[in-house]
Structure 1
């Protein structure tokens, strides 16, 4: 039943009552109906916009439903309700959690150490169909916990990156804290970076607040954190597929260039190269992972080695055991056919910033732009 039909019905009704017709009153009626329709449409659009906004707030953890501590508490409350945890244990664990959060340092419960060292050992004797294997500097794996499940992947990948930087001679001396921060402390660090003037657009998006929220962070927040620590970084944006079947071969080629940067000599590189390069932060819509290595097969095909914060401690520890490592490596291998999201972003660490360079980075972050490939 369209507006036009509605108007015509009223006009017909008016004509029947007043055969002589009154063009002025007919026009007024049509205008009034049109105004009513416009008002109704605006109200519906406004309601839809409000609902969409609330949905986005929930999706990005900005709906005031509490952050890490509240989510951890809820998880423990559910365990008590199901009889899986005694009330006394709940109070004890809650006190431990609050103490851990106050310390600002990660408690290590979701950390698995020695992962890249174990991969180095594995490739020395296994995977003979690889012509070359490149590995990042030693990196610990951090997985999500009950407190950040569903939104903490960006923070966990930053912990992985920091664990590697702490072990690297180039970066360790400039990092103020020698321990890896916990999630609430990383949220505070990003807020501090915004106060320094970094990424004002991002700060505005999050309303200048991360603490007490379940907000996801992405490539720009990782860049912001690194810059605030005096570390030079770049964001590379693979904004569209570059191969058949929505694949991203240009991403794989770029990762190979990254890992081969330290071996530019004409000599044939050895089969296994354990570099001192930090891992790469890899972002796509809704999730992020860390690239800790690359395989090149005899046929020339490339395969990324990815550590995923979604993998549990027990699954990750399978990389450390000789009995389970072969199966575990299969889970971290990703060929081009496995990476089919429309867009990927990589954050790469590339050196230390001088005080002047840091100030320049803060200034240029006002219009933060990624390098687009292609």
Structure 2
């Protein structure tokens, strides 16, 4: 247990979240094509401005009218995050070279499952997405690019499972500038999409993006997807609807045999999650015996604590004290009290991409 006693506040990454967007969800979502996507109540989250109206700083951020970001930042984005090569011996005895990128953390989902079980005996059930999903955080880049990081996390699932569309991305995750190009190409191929008209174009800029841009990419790549919106009503708060949806989404996957009875390891894709002011990737949900629930998210604003990253690369099976497990999970949990601060949410799901068990 001594190995867990050196936890420091710095490792907890509990600084204020680096919000990337406005305090309300105000971007209208394109509804014109419902053949590959089902949009539910999305209009409730859009302002009553005519579609195609040029958006401003409220929706696109302080750089809403930027033509090009500073050359120094562009250069850093072209260079990408620091990476190194590591040789590993595979199960077949062969030596494999692995590319390790500074802000990409694979293998976290199984560790999150272990921490959830260790953190409380009151845990009734934890549902998790496919383990191939990587946590991609902001790394050394100073810009507000959370929407792009969440797209990278979705792509990590597509690549890791070799799901439909994986061949479009190659072996590595696309960079921010590559994703901008992909969004622009999606607009080029869809004359009815008003994204470029509303944003003025995003290539080489720091304009905020959100659910509409993710939906545009999915449509461009012929990935079946759905956008689900949740707003406060007299019957239920938005966060209650959200928790119900996420729990149902992960619960519908068949069970794996031989796993911890409190852990449901699904093969479902993660969810792109937009709350007012910020986007994240939902990787699962916890339910406790008292009925309380918490989302489990990969937040681009937070780098995993060093101890948690060490658990991914290490082979230790030592017991984890519940207080340490709870502390390590702090930046990955979003409970009802946090979610209740907001009246609107959006979730984008990838459909028909669940690999066979």
Bin of the TM-score, shorter chain as denominator length? 0.5 to 0.7
Q: CA deviation at 1:334?
A: 1.5
User: Which of 135, 140, 143 is matched with 2:134 structurally?
Assistant: 140
User: Which of 137, 143, 148 is matched with 1:155 structurally?
Assistant: 148
Q: 1:112-137, CA deviations, whole angstroms, 9 ceiling, x for partnerless residues? A: 22110211333455532111110111
Greater C-alpha Rg: 1
Aligned to 1:59: 61
SS in 1 for 2:205: coil
Q: CA deviation at 1:72?
A: 2.7
Q: CA 1:197/1:166 → structure 2, altered by over 3 Å: closer, same or farther?
A: same
User: Which of 255, 277, 284 is matched with 2:268 structurally?
Assistant: 277
Moved more, 252-261 or 193-202: 193-202
Aligned to 2:330: 330
Moved more, 168-177 or 219-228: 168-177
Structure with the larger strand share: 2
What are the residue-to-residue correspondences of 1:240-251 with 2, within 5 Å? Answer: 240=232, 248-251=239-242
Q: Decide whether the 8 Å contact of 1:57 with 1:63 is kept in 2.
A: no
Aligned to 1:41: none
SS in 2 for 1:154: helix
SS in 2 for 1:166: helix
Q: 1:313-344, CA deviations, whole angstroms, 9 ceiling, x for partnerless residues? A: 54694583758543111332212221121210
Aligned to 1:17: none
Q: CA deviation at 1:242?
A: 6.2
Find out whether 1:233 has 2:234 as its counterpart: no
Find out whether 1:254 has 2:256 as its counterpart: no
Which residues of structure 2 form unaligned runs of 5+?
Answer: 1-53, 82-98, 313-319
Q: CA 1:143/1:270 → structure 2, altered by over 3 Å: closer, same or farther?
A: same
Q: CA deviation at 1:271?
A: 2.1
Q: CA 1:249/1:155 → structure 2, altered by over 3 Å: closer, same or farther?
A: same
How far apart, CA to CA, are the structure 1 residues paired with 2:337 and 2:289? 18
Structure possessing the higher relative contact order (Cα contacts under 8 Å, 6 or more residues apart): 2
SS in 2 for 1:194: helix
Q: CA 1:97/1:152 → structure 2, altered by over 3 Å: closer, same or farther?
A: closer
Which residues of structure 1 form unaligned runs of 5+?
Answer: 1-51, 74-93, 353-374
Q: Decide whether the 8 Å contact of 2:305 with 2:328 is kept in 1.
A: no
Q: Decide whether the 8 Å contact of 2:57 with 2:64 is kept in 1.
A: no
How far apart, CA to CA, are the structure 2 residues paired with 1:279 and 1:193? 22
What are the residue-to-residue correspondences of 1:208-223 with 2, within 5 Å? Answer: 209-223=201-215
Q: CA 1:225/1:111 → structure 2, altered by over 3 Å: closer, same or farther?
A: same
Moved more, 159-168 or 307-316: 307-316
Q: How many equivalent residue pairs?
A: 269
Q: CA 1:206/1:174 → structure 2, altered by over 3 Å: closer, same or farther?
A: same
User: Which of 124, 132, 138 is matched with 1:131 structurally?
Assistant: 124
CA-based RMSD of the aligned residues comes to 3.3
Moved more, 192-201 or 292-301: 192-201
